[in-house]
Amino acid sequence: MKKSSTRRIALNVLMDVTDRGKYAGLALKDALFGMESSDAAFISALVYETLSSLKYVDFIISSFARGSVKPVIRAILRLGVCQFVLMNAPAHVVCSESVKLTEEVGKAALKGYVNGVMRNICASDLEKLPLPNDTISRLSIRYSYPEFLVREYIELYGEEFTKDMLAYDGIGMTIRAQSPYTTEELTALLDERGIYYTQGKLVPDAIKLKRGFDPMRDERFINGQLTVQSESAMLVCKLCGTHPGMLVLDACAAPGGKTAYLSMLMGNTGHIDALELYEHRVKLIENTLSRLHVANVSVMSGDASVFDPEKCDKYDVVLVDAPCSGFGVTHKMDARYKKTSEDIDELCKIQFDILSNCGRYVKPGGALIYSTCTISRRENEHVAELFLKTHDGFYVDMPDEFANNGSIGMQLFPHVHDTDGFYMVRFKRASDIL
């Protein structure tokens, strides 16, 4: 069997996400297994760039390709437009490769059509294509976000703030050291290899990479000395305020990165119970903790929204990093196309149920942390406010170094904090002893 080209693999992954409902990260992981790093990097960049600007790419295509377009041809055009507009590939290369890909997928009869559409696109001044006059529609198309979300953001933050937030694309991959390997050793390694990076302003353990280093192929990743984790996720763990000897519950723990960092912050002492609903995600936690040599954790399967009397009043700290829309995570751009406004309302109910139940697991004087990886007032402040109104024994307990920049808790914005969009709030349970 003839080996598939890199663009054919990218095409398959793109269609897995857009036409078959798969998650981009999982589809890429399956497709890139065992592949040369240079090919894997190109495919990943092509898929992610296309998904990150999918609505704008489709707007360009619709301006030149009239009528019904077959799904596979639409996907080929999407990749071609992405390479030309977003990746600065030469026009002749884009047109030639799009035609080759059309033939490779068995649609040779449509080579002329694809060539004609791509040549017209490449020969046009795309900056002059008229976007809608309506602000919401214009920003929705230009930055590829659903209209309901753009509308919410403008109502909350204003047009200019929303535009700057949607346009921001400065976040790269972030890594950290896992003890006993240190941040100093990690930065020394990167300096020695001439790899450009910056350290996080909120969490110095966060090492933000710009280019030239594939951590997951490095021996230090494989042997558990470093791992990939966002600065915002690390900050949530810092907010937990854990210290050696504590008993902690990570209530929605997959894939295990926060559990591992919490263990590190606790000096690998005390104990953490890592809870996860789905068995296959329990395996993800176990694999993460095994690779990072974390020993003070028990991993268990269970529903965080269903009361377990054995956990009642038990924990010094409970972390609820709740299932959410994921709109704040820049590398999960496919979430933008999978969630509706009604889906958000359903998520809010789940989040509140989990938070309410897990509040029962906090011992008197203990802490309950609620976080999401999204920018959504409904999922964030509204859930937190409802929890406070219905749970008299809890109050907000945000340390001074955590800016309380919303009605309640801390909201991170990509263009302001150079992190994923993340929300976090820390509650304290009043002590029964007066």
Question: What type of residue sits at position 113?
Answer: Y
Query: Tokens 């030149």 belong to which residue?
Result: 64
Tokens found for residue 203 = 């969490």
SS3 301: strand
Report the distance separating Cα 212 and Cα 194, nearest Å. Answer: 9
Strands 247-250 and 315-321, by their bridges, are: parallel
CB contact at 8 A, 199 and 207: yes
CB contact at 8 A, 198 and 208: yes
Determine how many CB atoms are found less than 10 A away from the CB of residue 195: 15
- Sequence-distant (≥ 6) Cβ neighbours of residue 199 within 8 angstroms: 183, 187, 206, 207, 208
**365-383 as b/e, with b when 16 or more CB fall inside 10 Å?**
ebbbbbbbbbbbbbbbbbb
Question: What type of residue sits at position 20?
Answer: R
Q: Find the angle CA(280)-CA(22)-CA(349) to the nearest 5 degrees.
A: 70
Q: Which residues are the active-site residues? A: 373
